[in-house]
Amino acid sequence: MIDEPDNQHPRPDTFEANRESDDLNVRDVHGAILREKADPRDGYEPIPLWLVSLFMALVFWGGAYLAFNSGGFESTVFNPSQVSWAGGGAAAKAAPDPKVVGKRLFTANCVACHQATGLGVAGQFPPLVESEWVLTEGWHGDNHLISILLHGLQGPIQVKGATYNGAMPPWKQLKDDQIAAILTYIRSEWGNNESPITAEQVAKIREESAAQTEPYTQAQLQAIPAMEFDDAAAPTEGSAPPAPDAAATAPAPGA
Amino acid sequence: MSMTSDHPVATPELDRVERARIDESTRIPVLLFFGSAVFWLLVGTLFALLASFKMNAPHFLDQWGWLTFGRVRPAHLNAVAYGWAAPAGIGVALWLMARLCRVPLMHSKLLISAAIFWNIGILLGIFGILSGDGRSIEWLEFPNYASLMLFVAFGLIAVWAVIMFRFRQPGHVYVSQWYLLAAFIWFPWLYSTANILLNFEPIQGGAQGAVNWWYGHNALGLWFTPIGLAAAYYFIPKVLGRPIHSYYLSILGFWSLALFYSWNGMHHLIGGPFPAWMVSASVVASVMMFIPVITTAINHHMTVRGNFHALKWSPTLRFTVFGAMCYTLSSVQGIFMAVPSLNKVTHFTHYTVGHAHLGLYAFFTMIMFGAMYYITPRVVGWEWPSARLIRWHFWLVAIGIGVMVVALTIGGVLQGLALLDPGVTFMASLDYTKPWLLLRSGSGILLTAGHIVFAVSFTLLLLKAGSKRTEPTLFGSDQGRKPEALVP
């Protein structure tokens, strides 16, 4: 302790002797005042060098972090990890993976019936795994699959040799890219391996089927010629012939 | 001062006369603010207990709309923040301002009016919240008629502070005073800006969230923190009779706090609909808080170093050092909570609640207790009646807040991890918090008991209970032990 001896041990007698006045009898006011130490003073120890270095390193880190996470200080960029000064605007437009988006939408909207496994519930909800409806085998086309999602499905249907008689609600409230993402997801998950569906394809079918007001039946769908939006060939236009095998393997009309 | 012409200014005797005169002049305003603070502390603690019990038993007392969780919880926050913490801080700040300006307190009518406006404001505000008039803006739940009262009170105090500083005795301006003056100017600015932009002329959309958290964080960082630090910077060297370690560290700490703190609020909005640069700038500024925090911690620690034994005796020092240590702890915790990858776990969990109590209670409130243990006997002219009550107070609240922070921290992390796990439903994530919330209610009972002990002790002092003594009331002095060094 470095301190004035006066402050360490108050000496009331000295104080008494020095007191000349007057307006305040300090001892009566309070004993605390007598024993109190002097008001705080400043020491002048230098700031340690290691501390300055540490702070410089922190500031450097701060600059670097901002450079890579500020979205170029654009007011319209919301995801800090999407854009950096280096990446520029191009990286900002990187579209999200439709399978990831599709999985999220599927989990939110479809698992209640079709289950997270895509296997459905025997006798109640048809499976999506290896389903000819999903993989567009036989008379089924990509346009049918999109139509079902847009407008729903009702009445008895045959899936993988079993008959289901339920109702699937329409999902036309979802946007084109959302429907495309869901379909792309179910066509690539659980061992399914079919080409992705794009938002443009969904938009096209939505436009063509605008007149449809209630869920399709299997017979109605079968009456619509199948379309295959294969990535190999250019997308077939509206009046393109049905897929070659569709006519052959689906001779029995639904009704 | 009649004696200044005959004597050199710096004699200890003269200092004492001057200090006695100054203390005397602060009596009424300081006691008004302290008294109302203690009252609202009890009210706020009661709301806290109620809100905590409702977490354990959701239907407890929910048959009255007035006592539903949605009202009791903001009533707690506002009663302790604006009813207890702010007036306690103002009381301490008034006394410190007068002492550091080295002039007797002037224009005490300004302060007395402020105290009256303040208390009416709190009363209206709490009543408004309970009756369903509250606003769903955290930290600004008071209805307009109440916040207007607080603003008037604060305007008066700010004007007073500027006048005091203008007419101070010439000489060195000590670090505590920088913080006090800054706080007195910052807070009315924060409070009026936030209230105008959110309640009187509301701005639209996401910007409301930005203003809300700009205010919410700054109320802690630019109002409570500077007052708490001002008190720590004064009482630690004062009680020990040592100089503060380094003037240069004081400067660095003050200006880096002023520079970085006001950017911090946006880290509450990580993941929200805000431009990336806003949130990232805030994350950087939050991490930069290492600079003022480490600086201040070193400055305080080096001042106490070698004198930790004094914590055994001096209530002021023990509360203050406890608070100063928790300042470091809570700030470092807050810095890590602003890092996005960790924020993902802790945000929207009880962890945040634990952090808030570490800051506003373990840091700020404990320093306020310490300061009140020093100031009140001096303005009343009576020593604390019972060392035993002070001892009970300290241990009840120190253990209480310790248990609360640990419980909420663990419970919060478990809750956060469960919320992030897509395999755990929301209801199941709540199960993880149940035992920890029960523990929190237990800690709340300890804190309540501590506050009641403090209120009793404070009231006995005001009533000048017991016999007149001139020696200080120290820990252990009632057990016949002799302090190694005399510490007030």
CATH number assigned to the domain comprising residue B36: 1.20.210.10
Residue B268 lies in a domain: yes
Residue B182 lies in a domain: yes
Chain B partners within 8 Å of A6 (Cβ)? 12
Type of residue found at B169: Q
Q: Is the Cα torsion angle A135, A137, A142, A147 positive or negative in sign?
A: negative
Quote the CA–CA distance of A64 and B199 in Å, as a whole number.
38
Residue whose C-alpha is closest to residue B447's, from B400, B406, B391: B400
Please state, for a pLDDT cut of 90, what percent of chain A lies above it: 10
Quote the CA–CA distance of A26 and B181 in Å, as a whole number.
29
Quote the CA–CA distance of A241 and A45 in Å, as a whole number.
90
Length of chain B: 488
A239 lies within 8 A of chain B by CB = no
> What single DSSP character describes residue B220?
I
Q: B424: exposed, middle or buried (C-beta count within 10 Å: 0-12, 13-18, 19+)?
A: middle
B340 lies within 8 A of chain A by CB = yes
Quote the CA–CA distance of B157 and B114 in Å, as a whole number.
7
In the prediction, which pLDDT does B7 show? 35
Domain count, chain B: 1
Quote the CA–CA distance of A131 and A112 in Å, as a whole number.
18
Q: Which residue has the tokens 């946007």?
A: A175
Cβ A32–B488 below 8 Å, yes or no? yes
- Inter-CA distances, B225 with B44, B186, B348, Å: 20, 12, 24
Q: ∠B143-B149-B154 over CA atoms, to 5°? A: 125
Give me the domain span that covers residue B161.
17-478
Mind listing the pLDDT tens digit for each residue in A41-64? Answer: 899 999 999 999 999 999 999 999
Give the distance from residue A22's alpha carbon to the nearest chain B alpha carbon, in angstroms.
Answer: 9
CA neighbours within 13 Å on the CB side: how many for B421?
A: 14
Q: Which residue of A has its CA nearest to B245?
A: A43
Mind listing the pLDDT tens digit for each residue in A85-110? Answer: 444 444 445 667 888 888 888 888 88
In the prediction, which pLDDT does A99 show? 82
Residue B36 lies in a domain: yes
Chain A partners within 8 Å of B307 (Cβ)? 1
Kindly report the average pLDDT of chain A as a whole number: 75
In the prediction, which pLDDT does B196 show? 94
Residue B483 lies in a domain: no
Q: Which residue has the tokens 């969780």?
A: B69
In the prediction, which pLDDT does A2 show? 42
Residue B239 lies in a domain: yes
Separation of CA A97 from chain center: 11
Quote the CA–CA distance of B283 and B339 in Å, as a whole number.
6
Q: Which of residues 17-56 of A touch B (CB under 8 A)?
A: 18-24, 26-27, 29-48, 51, 54-55
Token pair recorded at residue B323: 């608070």
Residue B485 lies in a domain: no
Residue whose C-alpha is closest to residue B25's, from B125, B123, B164: B164
Quote the CA–CA distance of B379 and B25 in Å, as a whole number.
8
Q: Is pLDDT at A151 greater than 70 in this prediction? A: yes
Q: Is pLDDT at A22 greater than 80 in this prediction? A: no
Type of residue found at A70: S
Q: What is the pTM of this model?
A: 0.75
Mind listing the pLDDT tens digit for each residue in B331-364? Answer: 999 999 999 999 999 999 999 999 999 999 999 9
Residue whose C-alpha is closest to residue B299's, from A55, A7, A46, A3: A46
In the prediction, which pLDDT does B471 show? 78
In the prediction, which pLDDT does B14 show? 67
Angle between helices B247-261 and B276-288 (to 10 degrees): 160
Cβ A42–B290 below 8 Å, yes or no? no
> What single DSSP character describes residue A42?
B
Least confident range of A77-86, A128-137, A222-231, B315-324 = A77-86
Q: Is pLDDT at A8 greater than 50 in this prediction? A: no
Q: Which residue has the tokens 């945040």?
A: B352
Token pair recorded at residue B71: 């009202």
Chain A partners within 8 Å of B171 (Cβ)? none
b/e map B64-86, b = 16+ CB within 10 Å: eeebebebbbbbbbbbbbbbbbb
Q: Is pLDDT at A234 greater than 70 in this prediction? A: no
DSSP state string for B224-262: IHHHHHHHHHHHHHHHHT--BSBHHHHHHHHHHHHHHHT
Query: For residues B444 and A165, which has the higher predicted lDDT (pLDDT)?
Result: B444
Q: Alpha helices of B262-386 — where are they, by DSSP H?
A: 276-288, 290-304, 315-337, 340-346, 350-357, 366-380
Q: Which residue of B has its CA nearest to A77?
A: B275
In the prediction, which pLDDT does B198 show? 94
Query: For residues B72 and A197, which has the higher predicted lDDT (pLDDT)?
Result: B72
Residue B484 lies in a domain: no
Quote the CA–CA distance of A132 and A160 in Å, as a whole number.
7
Residue B11 lies in a domain: no
Residue B166, number of CB atoms within 10 A of its CB: 8
Cβ pair B51, B60 in contact under 8 A: no
In the prediction, which pLDDT does A195 show? 84
Q: Which residue has the tokens 């393997």?
A: A249
Which of A37, A53, A77 to mutate to probe the B interface, most B CBs <10 Å?
A37
Cβ pair B350, B408 in contact under 8 A: yes
Type of residue found at B229: L
Give the distance from residue A251's alpha carbon to the nearest chain B alpha carbon, in angstroms.
Answer: 46
Cβ pair B60, B143 in contact under 8 A: no
Helix (H, G, I), strand (E, B) or coil at A125: strand
Residues in CB range of B97: below 8 A, 6 or more apart = B105, B161, B164, B165, B177, B180
**In a structure prediction context, what are the per-residue pLDDT tens digits for chain B, which is 488 residues long?**
333 333 334 556 667 888 888 999 999 999 999 999 999 999 999 999 999 999 999 999 989 999 999 999 999 999 999 999 999 999 999 999 999 999 999 999 999 999 999 999 999 999 999 999 999 999 999 999 999 999 999 999 999 999 999 999 988 899 999 999 999 999 999 999 999 999 999 998 889 999 999 999 999 999 999 999 999 999 999 999 899 999 999 999 999 999 999 999 999 999 888 999 999 999 999 999 999 999 999 999 999 998 888 888 899 999 999 999 999 999 999 999 999 999 999 999 999 999 999 999 999 999 999 999 999 999 998 999 999 999 999 999 999 999 999 999 999 999 999 999 888 889 999 999 999 999 999 999 999 999 999 999 999 999 998 888 777 888 877 666 666 555 55
Residues in CB range of B184: below 8 A, 6 or more apart = B93, B157, B158, B161, B162
Cβ pair A222, A157 in contact under 8 A: no
Token pair recorded at residue A122: 């025997």
ipTM of the shown complex: 0.86
Cβ B16–A51 below 8 Å, yes or no? no
Domains recognised in chain A with CATH numbers: 49-92 (no CATH), 98-249 (1.10.760.10)
